[in-house]
Structure 1
Amino acid sequence: MIANSICWLRTAVFYFFWVLFGVPWCTFVILAVYFVPVRSRHPFFIKNFCVVSLFLCRWICGIRWKVEGLENVPDKACVVASNHQSPWETFFVQMLISPQSTVIKKELFSVPFFGWAFKRLNPIAIDRKERRSAMQQVMDKGKVCLDDDYGVVIFPEGTRHHWPEVGRFTRGAATLAQHANVPVLPIAHDAGRFWPTFTLKKTPGEITVRIGPVIDSQNKPIDQLTSEVRDWVVANHP
């Protein structure tokens, strides 16, 4: 009971400082974004925001992490496909590859300050109710990003799942990778163990992140490539 109360207290302190930092930072992004060169916007605005966010999470909530397979991150642009359990990995992947564009749900743009700022940084925002147009937008906008040597991050499950579940993977990551002739970088993690989805409470512990060797996307049926990526994530899930 006491331990649970301490976790909630630490969580409340985390969000207090995160909002205290985040709202002014997002306001700064909204006002300053057009004065920063396009290629520098992600590392300056988003990556730095995520570094501070995970620093706060680590030192206030006690959530640490270790990364295995950093040597597998390629020098060239690729499609990053990660399982999705919590907001934690959305911050982490922004630090891992920069510059990049992330496929997100369009509803996030309505979040005050954070969504307004993110909208100005040109993510690939899709309406999940319109599957056909959403896929076309991922293909068109994603290929432009990859051709410009930007990474593209996709969470193929489409929504967050409870740890240790790995949901069904959609075909978007594999289709985009093949369309743009780039490999897929698979990532497996257990962030949901300590920052679970659908709750604010955070529990101290160490997240394990495993980064796999890139998976070649060419000359494979889309379903086969999708299965290869998911199979690696399932087999290496902490």
Structure 2
Amino acid sequence: MAMLRSTLHMAFMFVTVIPYTLLILLARLLGAKGNVRYGFAQKWLTLSIDAARVLMGIRYQVHGQENLPVGETSPAILLVKHQSTYETFLMPAIMPHPLAYVFKKELLYVPFFGWSIGSLDMIHIDRSQRAKAFAKVVEQGQALLDKGVWVIMFPEGTRIPRGERGIYKTGGTRLAIATGAPVIPIAVTSAKCWPRKAFIKTPGVVDVSIGKPIPSEGRDADELMREVEAWIESEMHRLDPEAYVGQL
């Protein structure tokens, strides 16, 4: 049954991404503003999350939403635990501001999905050009933050198996310090239902816990990331204790 439900969901996403991509591309061709194009993308992502609930029984609950900054142009950099594809779809569906992902340019070549994100106000980087890449992140990140778009990054860089911890890189905290934006740590237990690189998903509840904003002014990037890492990993232990049995 899990195989059938997962197959149906994958088929649903494959079929629906095509018209939404065409809408985004057409909107860009017609000169529509970034928030209009983002709105189409957000609708498809929300639709995919709703389909995951209906077809696969994957639900989510959010804790700490009151910790998000208020105001149309209040800046924020979201630093999120990364366990699966689920949170990449979920974050735009639940956040009150448009989000800009920082991602590797290779994703632009993925049919339909890559074409869509390439037509949105996102930040794609060439990781082979480290200094230039980060300068681009700061320049574009500042411009987006000024417009009320929040930047979202996965500090571990890749999807991490349930119960494990990746290496937290400082790109997000360096960007926060450069722009003066606070960082928002977010823990997500998506691997309970949607493990990394797994085709078959299982029903259950994904917990999303949003921490309080951490100011970046006057901070050291490494020290700030250690604080973010400590909060996220401690929260992961609290939300999903079964995944950490036998660990300190």
**TM-score category by the smaller chain?**
over 0.9
In the alignment, what sits opposite 1:62?
A: 57
Contact 1:47 1:98 in 2 (8 A): no
Contact 1:40 1:99 in 2 (8 A): no
Provide the C-alpha distance between the structure 2 equivalents of 1:100 and 1:40, rounded to a whole number of angstroms: 13
In the alignment, what sits opposite 2:125?
A: 126
Q: What does 1:139-158 correspond to in 2, within 5 Å? A: 139-158=138-157
Residue of 11, 28, 31 corresponding to 2:6: 11
CA positional deviation for 1:130: 3.0
Question: SS of the counterpart of 2:15?
Answer: helix
1:46 aligns with 2:41: yes
1:191 aligns with 2:197: no
User: When the two structures are superposed, what TM-score results if normalisation uses the length of structure 1?
Assistant: 0.93
Count of residue correspondences: 232
Contact 1:177 1:184 in 2 (8 A): yes
Alpha-carbon deviations, 1:133-154, whole Å to 9, x = none?
2222211211111122210001
Q: What does 1:167-186 correspond to in 2, within 5 Å? A: 167-186=166-185
User: When the two structures are superposed, what TM-score results if normalisation uses the length of structure 2?
Assistant: 0.89
In the alignment, what sits opposite 2:246?
A: none
Q: 1:36 is matched by which residue type in structure 2?
A: A
Contact 1:83 1:166 in 2 (8 A): no
Q: Which runs of 5+ in 1 are unaligned?
A: 1-5
Q: 2:76 is matched by which residue type in structure 1?
A: C
Contact 1:97 1:151 in 2 (8 A): no
Residue of 73, 86, 89 corresponding to 1:88: 86
Q: 1:128 is matched by which residue type in structure 2?
A: R
Contact 2:56 2:201 in 1 (8 A): yes
Flag as ranges the 4+ runs of structure 1 deviating above 3 A: none
Moved more, 218-227 or 122-131: 122-131
Provide the C-alpha distance between the structure 2 equivalents of 1:51 and 1:79, rounded to a whole number of angstroms: 21
CA positional deviation for 1:36: 2.5
CA positional deviation for 1:97: 4.0
CA positional deviation for 1:105: 1.5
In the alignment, what sits opposite 2:26?
A: 31
Provide the C-alpha distance between the structure 2 equivalents of 1:128 and 1:200, rounded to a whole number of angstroms: 28
Question: SS of the counterpart of 1:188?
Answer: strand
CA positional deviation for 1:188: 0.2
Provide the C-alpha distance between the structure 1 equivalents of 2:226 and 2:153, rounded to a whole number of angstroms: 15
CA positional deviation for 1:63: 0.5
Provide the C-alpha distance between the structure 2 equivalents of 1:48 and 1:231, rounded to a whole number of angstroms: 33
Q: What does 1:219-234 correspond to in 2, within 5 Å? A: 219-234=218-233
Q: 2:221 is matched by which residue type in structure 1?
A: I
Provide the C-alpha distance between the structure 2 equivalents of 1:46 and 1:157, rounded to a whole number of angstroms: 25
Provide the C-alpha distance between the structure 1 equivalents of 2:206 and 2:63, rounded to a whole number of angstroms: 11
CA positional deviation for 1:99: 1.7
Alpha-carbon deviations, 1:21-54, whole Å to 9, x = none?
1111111211123442233332x12211111010
In the alignment, what sits opposite 1:72?
A: 67
